[in-house]
Amino acid sequence: MNETPAKPVAAAQAAADEAAPKRAAAKKKTVAKKAVTTKDAATKKATVAKAPARKTAAETAKKPAGQPAEQAAKPAKKSAAKKTAAKKTAAKKTAPSAASAAAPAGKAPAGKPESRVAMVRRARRMNRELAELYPYAHPELDFTNPFELLVATVLSAQTTDLRVNQTTPGLFAVCPTPEDMAAMDPERLEELIRPTGFFRAKTKSLIGLSTALRDRFGGEVPGRLEDLVTLPGVGRKTANVVLGNAFGVPGITVDTHFGRLVRRFGWTTQEDPEKVEAEIAEIFPKSEWTMLSHRVVFHGRRVCHSRKPACGACGIAPLCPSYGEGETDPEKAKKLLKYELGGRPGQRLNPPADYPGQPAPPMAAP
């Protein structure tokens, strides 16, 4: 039996052992190299994937405004713009405007709609405060009976109550009754009422209504609106003046001053006198109609003038949505006040006993 020599086997084993570390190192190096290569490939792939997106964004930025791609390319800017707009909106809601800051207390912020209920409450409060300001409010035409008031009201069209009051003493001295006036010579009547203006048309109305009173109502002024408006020259305004002040029948008198103020007060937007009357009648109880008319007209003649209201001297300014249309400086506004509030005579030659001002002077002799 042959045996393998021991020396060659030992030599081969020693060579194998010596080569093993080298093979392990080489294998390790190969694995590491593969990992690096894989990582580089992944990085390159990601870079390639991102490149088109960046290119698209750059190209999109050059496109004109309004295209959808622009919105996608600038999400960050759009988000920032939204945040800025939101901050501005919040600031507007929080901070009061200069106009609202300057407005008197109690006035609703500009732009905020007022409900019907809130308007009615405000209107009634204004009426109460006007009653405190003008406890002596009254019709500013001199009269002693319904016929005199009817004639004076017809004459007051297109002129002042003062001029009417200065004219009627001479008129009623000549024709104190409907019968007397119906029998007047038209030319003579024209001369008597000439200072009030439009004397020819007014003469025709006065003779016509006096004749109707004599022939249809027994020489008496009727106490019903339906009858009064059938008289020549008599409309709803004149009829309500007579009913409210000569017969105690509540009525709303919509003259120039009343219409102007109730629109400024925000009680109505109507221009037609009958529509104004109907809307105001829905706001206030019937018992207030006559005195409400006097208070509003008093305020319009003394404070809330047509062209330049004296807002700075107005006692109801905190409740008025039109505050600021006129002079707001208190000292300058005081100079705009008229009649007793301005230290000057009133319109009546024979005012009520509680009137705090001076009576009007009679017409100067020609």
pLDDT tens, N- to C-terminus, the chain (366 residues): 444 444 444 444 544 455 555 565 555 555 455 544 444 544 444 444 444 444 444 344 444 444 444 444 444 444 555 555 555 554 444 333 333 334 454 454 456 799 999 999 999 999 999 999 999 999 999 999 999 999 999 999 999 999 999 999 999 999 999 999 999 999 999 999 999 999 999 999 999 999 999 999 999 999 999 999 999 999 999 999 999 999 999 999 999 999 999 999 999 999 999 999 999 999 999 999 999 999 999 999 999 999 999 999 999 999 999 999 999 999 999 999 999 999 999 999 999 999 999 999 999 866
**The pLDDT value given to residue 12:** 44
- Residue 227 is among the residues annotated as catalytic for this protein: no
What are the structure tokens assigned to 204, written together? 């025709």
The pLDDT assigned to 112 comes to 79
Assigned token pair, 359:
């009576």
CA 356/CA 345 separation, integer angstroms: 10
**Cα–Cα dist 194/210, whole Å:** 18
Compute the distance between CA of residue 214 and CA of residue 221 in angstroms, rounded to an integer.
9
List the end-to-end C-alpha distance of the chain, in Å, as a whole number: 177
Q: How far is CA 53 from CA 50, 56, 77, in A?
A: 5, 5, 18
How much helix, strand and coil, in percent to the nearest 5, is found in the chain?
A: 65, 0, 35
Rounded to 5°, the CA angle 225-228-230 comes to 115
DSSP state at residue 64: P
Q: What is the pLDDT of residue 21?
A: 53
- CB atoms inside a 10 Å sphere around CB 204: 15
- Separation of alpha carbons 348 and 165, rounded Å: 6
Q: Catalytic: which of 237, 275, 308, 335?
A: 237
CA atoms of 141 and 162, how far apart (whole Å)? 8
- Cα–Cα distances in Å, from 349 out to 138, 266, 346, 352, 364? 13, 34, 8, 10, 13
**The pLDDT value given to residue 285:** 98
CA–CA separation, 69 and 236 (whole Å): 69
- Cα separation, 138 vs 250, in Å, equals 14
- The rounded distance, in Å, linking the Cα atoms of 253 and 157 is 13
pLDDT for 364 equals: 82
Give the C-alpha separation, 87 to 68, whole Å.
26
Is there a catalytic annotation at residue 202? no
How would you label 129-141 residue by residue, b for 16+ Cβ within 10 Å and e otherwise? ebeebbebbbbbb
- C-alpha to C-alpha distance for 44 and 50, rounded to whole angstroms: 10
Among 74, 255, 329, 335, the one annotated catalytic: 255
Burial of 166 (0-12, 13-18, 19+ CB in 10 A): buried
Q: State the pLDDT at residue 29.
A: 55
How far apart are the C-alpha atoms of 259 and 300, rounded to whole Å? Answer: 10
- For the chain, the maximum distance between any two Cα atoms, rounded to a whole number of angstroms, is 181
- Helix axes of 199-216 and 146-155: crossing angle, nearest 10 degrees: 150
